[in-house]
């Protein structure tokens, strides 16, 4: 598949997608969103791939939805096309883990795309923000919801109402990112983490992801019941037998992924 706005590579069992519109700081135009969806579809269908890393450039993960593309839209254009939902949420339906490796600006839709991933590894130069209010709009790809769940009402409200950016250290303190790493190590570190995940039991990884995601969709008691059912299901896998046998025999497990 020939892509124009992203670069797609495979690193052992990891799919690496690099947003690649450097002149527009990786602004998320319709073509980029469509290509990102196609790349995710391909990695999702590829049995050799166990996890996916999504990254941008050193200057920008993505500076938001493409302002030049959307500036002339009318309400009817946006409403009838269900603008933003259309295509953007593909990351959230990906069953394999997706790690966002964020350097530079992750603003507006860029911050929202990073938050759609399962977790964010940030470079020390990363900057997160929802500056939509300064353009006369509000976040439209989940920013008011996912940011609020990640950092709490006070910080989310300040960021959404003022457009204030937070740096990597503040993002880590607030729980928006899992870790901050030096810029030069970001992509390699993210690929290393993804390789670790890809080497584990595929079905059990999918169950673990599904269980954590349930925490955002259900009540505590329903979530715990869901977790318990999946926990029980892990005992039906060969990988549970192998993982526990390997521990007892003091050797590394070899997961068969089925
Ligand atoms: N859309 C389209 N083009 C963009 C863009 C965007 N979101 N962000 C940057 N660019 C373009 C600029 O227009 C510029 O292009 P030209 O050279 O052709 O003028 C190029 O990228 C470089 O940008 P700057 O010259 O502005 O670079 P800078 O280093 O001075 O500033 C920045 C960097 C602070 C990120 C600044 O570019 C900026 O504020 N960008 C817009 C951020 C923003 O408002 N994002 C939210 C978009 S709305 C949204 O995302 C809605 C939603 O919820 C989905």
pLDDT band at 258 (very low <50, low <70, confident <90, very high): low
CB-based contact 255:200 (threshold 8 Å): yes
Which residues on adjacent β-strands are paired with residue 123?
Answer: 181
Q: Determine whether the shortest distance from the Cβ of 139 to ligand 1 is under 6 A.
A: yes
Mean of pLDDT values over 6-12: 96
Q: Would the pLDDT of 86 be above 80?
A: no
**Residue bearing the CA closest to ligand 1, atom 12:** 24
Active site residue 35: no
**Distance (Å, rounded) from C-alpha 216 to C-alpha 227?**
13
Active site residue 58: no
The whole-number pLDDT of residue 212 equals: 98
The share of the chain scoring above pLDDT 90, in percent, equals: 95
The whole-number pLDDT of residue 107 equals: 98
**CB within 8 Å of 18: residues ≥ 6 apart:** 6, 7, 8, 9, 55, 56, 57
Mean pLDDT of all residues belonging to the chain: 96
**Residue bearing the CA closest to ligand 1, atom 22:** 24
**Distance (Å, rounded) from C-alpha 254 to C-alpha 167?**
40
CB-based contact 214:223 (threshold 8 Å): yes
Q: Would the pLDDT of 137 be above 90?
A: yes
* Six token digits for residue 199: 């080497």
Over residues 157-205, the pLDDT tens digits come to 999 999 999 999 999 999 999 999 999 999 999 999 999 999 999 999 9
Active site residue 64: no
The whole-number pLDDT of residue 255 equals: 95
Mean of pLDDT values over 111-129: 98
The whole-number pLDDT of residue 1 equals: 75
Three-state SS annotation for the chain:
CCCCCEEEEEECCEEEEEECCHHHCCCECHHHHHHHHHHHHHHHHCCCCCEEEEECCCCEEECCECHHHHCCCCHHHHHHCCCCHHHHHHHHHCCCCEEEEECCEEECHHHHHHHHCCEEEEECCCEEECHHHHHCCCCCCCHHHHHHHHHCHHHHHHHHHHCCCEEHHHHHHHCCCCEEECHHHHHHHHHHHHHHHHCCCHHHHHHHHHHHHHCCCCCHHHHHHHHHHHHHHHCCCHHHHHHHHHHHCCCCCCCCCC
Over residues 153-167, the pLDDT tens digits come to 999 999 999 999 999
The answer to whether the pTM exceeds 0.95 is yes
The whole-number pLDDT of residue 195 equals: 97
The whole-number pLDDT of residue 84 equals: 84
**Phi (first) and psi of residue 193, to 5 degrees:** -65, -40
Q: Would the pLDDT of 85 be above 90?
A: no
Mean of pLDDT values over 42-66: 97
Q: How far is the CA of 108 from the centre of ligand 1 (A)?
A: 10
Which residues on adjacent β-strands are paired with residue 19?
Answer: 6
The share of the chain scoring above pLDDT 70, in percent, equals: 100
Mean of pLDDT values over 12-34: 97
The whole-number pLDDT of residue 182 equals: 98
């Amino acid at each position: 598949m020939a892509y124009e706005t992203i670069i797609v590579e495979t690193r052992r069992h990891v799919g690496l997608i690099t947003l690649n519109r450097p002149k527009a700081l990786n602004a998320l135009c319709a073509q980029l969103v469509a290509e990102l969806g196609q790349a995710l579809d391909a990695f999702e269908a590829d049995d050799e791939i166990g996890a996916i890393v999504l990254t941008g450039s050193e200057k920008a993960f993505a500076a938001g939805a493409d302002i030049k593309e959307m500036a002339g839209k009318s309400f009817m254009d946006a409403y009838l096309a269900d603008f933003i939902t259309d295509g953007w949420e593909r990351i959230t339906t990906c069953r394999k883990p997706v790690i966002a490796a964020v350097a530079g600006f992750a603003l507006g839709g860029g911050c929202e795309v990073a938050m759609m991933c399962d977790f964010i590894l940030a470079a020390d130069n990363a900057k997160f923000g929802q500056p939509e209010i300064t353009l006369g709009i509000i976040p439209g790809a989940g920013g008011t919801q996912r940011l609020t769940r990640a950092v709490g009402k006070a910080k989310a409200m300040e960021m959404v109402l003022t457009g204030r950016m937070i740096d990597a250290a503040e993002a880590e303190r607030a729980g928006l990112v899992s870790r901050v790493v030096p810029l030069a190590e970001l992509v390699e570190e993210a690929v290393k983490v993804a390789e670790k995940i890809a080497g584990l039991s595929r079905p059990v990884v999918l169950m673990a992801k599904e269980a954590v995601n349930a925490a955002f969709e259900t009540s505590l008691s329903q979530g715990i019941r869901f977790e318990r059912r999946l926990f029980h299901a892990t005992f039906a896998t060969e990988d549970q037998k192998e993982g526990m046998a390997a521990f007892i025999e003091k050797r590394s497990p070899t997961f068969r992924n089925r």
